[in-house]
Amino acid sequence: MREFVQADFDIAGEGLPMMIDSELICIINHILSTVYKGEFIIRVNDRRILFGILELCNIDELLFGSVCSTIDKMDKMNLHEINSEFIDKGLNNEQITKLFEFIKLKGKENILFKLMETNLYIKYKDVIDELILLFRYCDNLNCSKNLIIDLSLARGLDYYTGLIIEGTYLNKEIGSVVGGGRYDNLISNLSGSDKIIPCAGFSIGVTRIVSLLTKDLNEVETVDVFISTSGNLFVEERQKLLKMFWANNIKSETFYTKRSNVNEHKKYCKKKRIRYLIVIGEQEWKNKCVNFINIENDTKIIENIENLCSIIMKNK
């Protein structure tokens, strides 16, 4: 059993076709572009279209749920594995070939225009027209840039009645971070009421986003060198070293307080994973040298200032 944290956003009540749904896309787009600075896509599909595709492929209605659960794995399994699972569930080669022709389609509105040329449009005209409307509304709300239609998007939960949504950061191995859609029957099913209350919404995987942010934090490029002093503050001497390091693209920093504490600076370097600590001492500086400490292996040598850049760059 896994434990995770997620945040939920729902809108309940009647609404014009795709007005509420497009606002959901807009909110998801804002969240994904704000909480993490990475490329992302928002994939949409409609459960009714998915079932219509299964009908066109002459797949037994009793297998719809099972087949959809396999389609939902397409981003986790290769085509051979997907094909084998379809066969295990009773599909024949003709059905599988025809099914793949549909579920491989993904892109912008042009995918929907292609569907208008198929027999699917006869029965599901309203659904396809609504998805075209969704893209138009998202254009109006300036949130269609990362939006695509993906006919392989199934989402495993059976309570979705129409639009399904999934948001994913690209080139990250954490899976989707947003999932949702329309579930018009959920409230009546849970309450036992005959009254249908339309509902749409999404959940954000807070745990996944935090893990993504934490991972990136650990991978942030650290400073190469910290400059400390012994005895005096040596402000101008430190500035000369900073100027030299910065000119050679060596990331370096120093302290700004009125006193220097080498031991505290060592702890700081270990905490921030700064590899080298330079300590300026009066006698060493007169000899054009500094104390050069490798924090990783805790070694200390007296090194000529003119050699510092080449040593650091060689070991970066």
Say which amino acid occupies 292: F
Asked whether the beta carbons of 153 and 45 are under 8 A apart, the reply is yes
Please tell me whether 10 is known to bind a ligand. yes
Neighbours of 184 (CB within 10 A): 16
Using alpha carbons, list the distances in angstroms from residue 280 to 70, 93, 266, 286, 298: 65, 76, 14, 10, 17
Please tell me whether 121 is known to bind a ligand. no
Please tell me whether 6 is known to bind a ligand. yes
Asked whether the beta carbons of 132 and 181 are under 8 A apart, the reply is no
Angstrom distance (rounded) from CA 68 to CA 169: 23
Using alpha carbons, list the distances in angstroms from residue 226 to 221, 262, 274, 279: 14, 11, 7, 9
Angstrom distance (rounded) from CA 21 to CA 132: 12
Closest alpha carbon to 71 in 197, 198, 138, 156: 156
Residue 102 contacts by C-beta under 8 Å, 6 or more apart in sequence? 53, 56, 57, 151
From the annotation, which residues make up the binding site?
Answer: 6, 10, 155, 159-160
From the annotation, which residues make up the binding site for L-histidine?
Answer: 6, 10, 155, 159-160
